[in-house]
Structure 1
């Protein structure tokens, strides 16, 4: 069927223009991203496994209680015994950088959307697009901008994981009682003081829920990022699929599940502490 509207051609033209004219910018991002991911990866993989297990167990005990601590210790020990420790640490490094970057972008956007109605009208459909677009589509511009490797995997993960943090930040700011804001303003507080000393502290529980969702969505991109040589557990899952190796696929997939549950329970603990 003949196309009447060829949106894809315009998008392709825009991406090609960026690839040709913004290469120095993308190279800087690639170098910074690679250095960050590889630095954290080196730290995690060169730290004795039992120290990392102990650290996560203590963090889980502190924030979520004894049950979560025991589950964390048992889950991480199982990952080590299955032989996926290095891949898990690679995945954790990628998730850490992607999640931190997503939050650094998402929280200001969420605040802007809460404060500016025009911005909210523009940002909301963009978030809808980012959440509903098939995640595989993000790999195309990611590879064109950064070639294959860890950085395009992180780039695709950031795009996919940002929307919940933006939405929940906006929701948190909007949910702050107006009378509290007006009282602060009546006492002479500036807009900046109201934001940082009133609205953000009261919205923190909702914002932390957004952090939780961002981490989980980052983990859901692990296998997709593995398709462009991002390393970690995703590549092991893909190896199991390509070789029809049920054992490898199940064990690497189980490692992703264990890591997701541990991070979910710990971040939920941070949310509950704020109640």
Structure 2
């Protein structure tokens, strides 16, 4: 159809005179323009058809060989309606495409922003929460239930340099990741676990009994001390960890002071239980 309609504008195309003014021929061309979605040319074709139909009505009003005036107006109206419907369909399609594009852009932007924020919250070496994120989450904890507490522990790997020296300097990040994995394997899904310093890790338990918290921290430290027991190397590598604990039965409001005291306590004592 497109090739045929394109050929109508050619100089070498011969169209019989009676075809050029034939209403069925003109309406057929108009229908093809509409089918192809060429609304601009469809409107022009409709004007040609309407003009020719009106000319026929005036010149041959009493002739039985042409359509009645009412039928002509009905056909013109129907063709105009088809053009308007095609235009509405084109507009609706364009609107739907723009809407889908905007939605996809918004969703993509949201996902990328969420990934970016998540990456900023993670320590790149251990893949645990970084210190700022862990502290912010602890500050956001609600007051514990009656008889329960918020328990915080800082674990200090005091012989990390010795460990990396024995494993090899190039494997220092791998050693930290293995220690972090030990902590992850021991904690629960709702616990707040992060890297607090170069050689330190922080763990917070929420809504837990004090005795249970202390037992939990002791198990964590025992697990830390045996992190490299299954090392493929023949040499035995042990982790020397120090721990400092704080337990509160109410919402924490002075976390920075508490953390400073925990760090100082680690520096002053070899192990606090």
TM-score, with normalisation over the residues of structure 1?
Answer: 0.20
Q: Which has the higher contact order (CA 8 A, sep 6+)?
A: 1
Larger helix proportion of the pair: 1
Larger strand proportion of the pair: 2
Q: Which has the larger radius of gyration?
A: 2
TM-score, with normalisation over the residues of structure 2?
Answer: 0.21
